[in-house]
Structure 1
Amino acid sequence: MTIQALIETKLQALDPLHAYVENESHMHNVPANSETHFKVTLVSERFDGMMPVKRHQQIYSLLAEELSGPVHALALHLYTPAEWEARGGSRPASPNCRGVGQ
């Protein structure tokens, strides 16, 4: 199973309404086909009433094994359904790594 698929599977524990796991390794100075840099955008009712730091801690706990090994960077965008709707259901864009293409 790929790292991305493993992350997607583990995130199902939060009963997401929307879950997007994007491998952004290609945007960084890493070997081709790497699975080291990810962006997670997740919408869950479980985040209702929860401060952002607590949301992040939940993800870190779920993905502790991946974060201690193959995953170098993890961008988290975690929303309640109301917050997601207020955003218009759009995922944030990621900047390119400054070291790529230089």
Structure 2
Amino acid sequence: MGDVAARIESKLQKAFTPSTLSVIDDSHLHAGHAGARPGGQSHFTVEITASRFDGLTRVARHRLVNEALAEELAGPVHALVIRARASTE
């Protein structure tokens, strides 16, 4: 796991104490595209399940994840796919 992926995982663990969390570096799929960096670590998919998302809309869940990762989204992360699920789903 790269440095950026490790930071993403750490921040999401701290913010949501998820029951499941997967951080996938998809950068290799975007090589040569806009926002791709030579070293990768620019495009990610996050799959997260947490009780914090219970009762929230998909948009509200995404906003919470985006807020937790604001520093990464302002810097090294060009694209983030979020699959945020409530613990009741």
Q: Quickly name the TM-score band, shorter chain normalised.
A: 0.7 to 0.9
Give the secondary-structure state (helix, strand or coil) at the position aligned to 2:88: helix
Query: Highest Rg: 1 or 2?
Result: 1
More strand by share: 2
- Show the 5 A alignment for 1:1-102: 2-12=3-13, 13-29=15-31, 30=36, 33-83=39-89
CA drift at 1:80: 1.2
Shift of residue 32 of structure 1? 5.2
- The alignment partner of 1:53 has SS state of helix
Report if aligned partners of 1:26, 1:33 keep a CA contact under 8 Å in 2: no
Aligned-partner Cα distance in 1 for 2:59–2:37: 32
Q: TM-score, normalised by structure 2?
A: 0.86
Query: In the TM superposition, what whole-angstrom CA distance separates every residue of 1:3-58 from its partner, at most 9, and x where no partner exists?
Result: 00000000012010000000000111245541000000000011110111110110
Gaps of at least 5 residues in structure 1 are 84-102
| TM-score calculated relative to the size of structure 1 | 0.76
Cα RMSD for the two superposed structures:
1.4
Q: Give the 3-state SS of the residue equivalent to 1:82 in structure 2.
A: coil
